[in-house]
Amino acid sequence: MKQRTLWSATLVAGLVVLAGCGSASDPDSASGGSKDKLVVWDWKSGDAAASAYVKKAKADFAQQHPGVTVEFAAQPFEQYYTLLGAAIQAGKGPDVMLFNGGGQIRDRADSLLPLDEYVRDDKKRLAGWEAFTKDGKTYAAPVTLQGHPIYYNKSLYRKAGLDPEQPATSWDEFVANCRTITKATGARCFAQGNKEGIGIQFFLSGLGSGVLSPTEYDDWIAGKRDWSSPAVKRVFSLWKETNDKGLNNDGANSTAMFNDAFAVFQSNKAAHIIGLMSDIGHWKDFAEFLDAGDVGVMEPPVVTAGATPSLPYDGGIGYAVAKSTKDPKVAADLVRSLTSTDALKPFYADAGAIVADRTVDVSSGGPAVATIVSGIDRGKPALHVALSSKTVDLMGRLSQQLLSGSVTVDAAVKQLAASDQAG
Amino acid sequence: MLRLWPLGLGVNFSFTGDGEGNGATVGLDNYADLIDDPLFRTALRNVGLLVLLLPVAVAIPGLLATFIYLRVPGHRFFRSVYFFPAVLSPVIVGAIFNLLLAFDGPLNDVLGGSGVGPVDWLGDPDVAMFAVVGVHIWATSGMALVVFLAGFATLDPALLDAARVDGASLARMIWHVIIPGLSRTIQFVVVTTMIGMLTSMFGLLYVMTSGGPEGSTYLPEYYIWVQQGQMSRPALASAASTVLFLIMLVVGLLQVGLLRRAGRED
What are the chain A neighbours of B121 within 8 Å (beta carbons)?
A: 254
- Which 8-state DSSP code applies to residue A302? B
Of A19, A79, A393, which has the smallest distance from its Cβ to B12's Cβ?
Answer: A19
Buried b (16+ CB within 10 A) or exposed e, A191-211: bbbbbbbbbbbbbbbbbbbbb
Q: What is the pLDDT of residue B248?
A: 82
How many CB atoms within 10 Å of residue A280?
17
CA distance A24 to chain B (A): 5
Q: What is the pLDDT of residue A336?
A: 97
A164 three-class SS: coil
Q: Quick check: A79 and B229 CB within 8 A?
A: yes
Q: Is B43 exposed, middle or buried (0-12, 13-18, 19+ CB in 10 A)?
A: buried
Provide φ and ψ at A152, rounded to 5°: -140, 160
Give residue B198's pLDDT band: very low, low, confident or very high (50, 70, 90): confident
The C-alpha atoms of residue B65 and residue A412 are separated, in whole angstroms, by 49
Task: Give start and end residues of each alpha helix (H) in A112-229.
Answer: 154-159, 171-185, 199-208, 214-221
A322 three-class SS: strand
Do the Cβ atoms of A200 and A399 come closer than 8 Å? yes
Distances (CA, A) of B136 to A178, B129, B204, B217: 41, 10, 7, 13
- Best to test chain B binding among A194, A254, A267, A419 (most B CBs inside 10 Å): A254
**What integer best gives the mean pLDDT of chain B?**
89
Do the Cβ atoms of A312 and A205 come closer than 8 Å? yes
Q: What is the pLDDT of residue A16?
A: 52
* A422 interfaces chain B, CB cutoff of 8 Å: no
The C-alpha atoms of residue A194 and residue A98 are separated, in whole angstroms, by 25
The C-alpha atoms of residue B18 and residue B238 are separated, in whole angstroms, by 11
Top pLDDT among A29 and B244 is at B244
The C-alpha atoms of residue B54 and residue B189 are separated, in whole angstroms, by 10
Q: Quick check: B103 and A89 CB within 8 A?
A: no
Q: Which fold has domain A150-311+380-421?
A: D-Maltodextrin-Binding Protein; domain 2 (3.40.190)
Provide φ and ψ at A34, rounded to 5°: -135, -170
Top pLDDT among B143 and A10 is at B143
Domain map (residue ranges) of chain A: 37-143+316-355, 150-311+380-421
The C-alpha atoms of residue B13 and residue A19 are separated, in whole angstroms, by 7
Whether B264 shows a pLDDT value over 80: the answer reads no
Minimum Cα–Cα distance from A250: chain B residue: B103
* A192 interfaces chain B, CB cutoff of 8 Å: no
* A91 interfaces chain B, CB cutoff of 8 Å: no
Minimum Cα–Cα distance from A90: chain B residue: B234
Q: Spell out the per-residue pLDDT of chain A, length 423, in tens.
A: 455 555 555 555 555 555 666 666 655 555 555 668 999 999 999 888 899 999 999 999 999 999 999 999 999 887 898 888 888 877 788 999 999 988 889 888 988 999 999 999 999 999 889 899 999 999 999 999 999 999 999 999 999 999 999 999 999 999 999 999 999 999 999 999 999 999 999 999 999 999 999 999 999 999 999 999 999 999 999 999 999 999 999 999 999 998 899 999 999 999 999 999 876 888 888 999 999 899 999 999 999 999 999 999 998 999 999 999 999 999 999 999 999 999 999 998 888 888 999 889 888 777 889 899 889 888 999 999 899 888 999 999 999 999 999 999 999 999 999 999 987
Q: Quick check: A251 and B104 CB within 8 A?
A: yes
Q: What is the pLDDT of residue A317?
A: 94
Q: What is the pLDDT of residue A11?
A: 54
Q: Quick check: B102 and A20 CB within 8 A?
A: no
Whether B97 shows a pLDDT value over 90: the answer reads yes
* A310 interfaces chain B, CB cutoff of 8 Å: no
The C-alpha atoms of residue A312 and residue A309 are separated, in whole angstroms, by 9
The C-alpha atoms of residue A327 and residue A305 are separated, in whole angstroms, by 54
How many CB atoms within 10 Å of residue A371?
18
From A400, A347, A352, select the one nearest A51 (Cα to Cα). Answer: A347
What are the chain B neighbours of A260 within 8 Å (beta carbons)?
A: 102
Minimum Cα–Cα distance from A16: chain B residue: B12
Of A15, A108, A396, which has the smallest distance from its Cβ to B12's Cβ?
Answer: A15
- Best to test chain B binding among A23, A78, A198, A200 (most B CBs inside 10 Å): A23
How many CB atoms within 10 Å of residue B91?
12
Q: Is A163 exposed, middle or buried (0-12, 13-18, 19+ CB in 10 A)?
A: exposed
What are the chain A neighbours of B22 within 8 Å (beta carbons)?
A: 23-25, 27, 110
Q: What is the pLDDT of residue A313?
A: 93
3-state class percentages of chain A: helix first, strand second, coil last, to nearest 5: 50, 15, 35
The C-alpha atoms of residue B98 and residue B104 are separated, in whole angstroms, by 11
Quick one: how far is CA B228 from the chain centroid? 23
Task: Give start and end residues of each alpha helix (H) in A65-169.
Answer: 80-89, 103-107, 154-159
Examine the predicted complex and report whether its ipTM is higher than 0.90.
no
Q: Is A166 exposed, middle or buried (0-12, 13-18, 19+ CB in 10 A)?
A: exposed
From A80, A393, A144, select the one nearest A277 (Cα to Cα). Answer: A144
Q: Quick check: B213 and A400 CB within 8 A?
A: yes
Q: What is the pLDDT of residue A361?
A: 87
What are the chain B neighbours of A85 within 8 Å (beta carbons)?
A: 228-229, 232, 234
Q: What is the pLDDT of residue A198?
A: 94
Q: What is the pLDDT of residue A366?
A: 79
Q: What is the pLDDT of residue A1?
A: 47
**What contacts B252, CB < 8 A, 6 or more positions away?**
none
Superfamily of domain A37-143+316-355: Periplasmic binding protein-like II (3.40.190.10)
> Which amino acid makes up residue A140?
A
The C-alpha atoms of residue B171 and residue B164 are separated, in whole angstroms, by 12
The C-alpha atoms of residue A163 and residue A166 are separated, in whole angstroms, by 5
Domain A37-143+316-355 and domain A150-311+380-421, same fold? Reply is yes
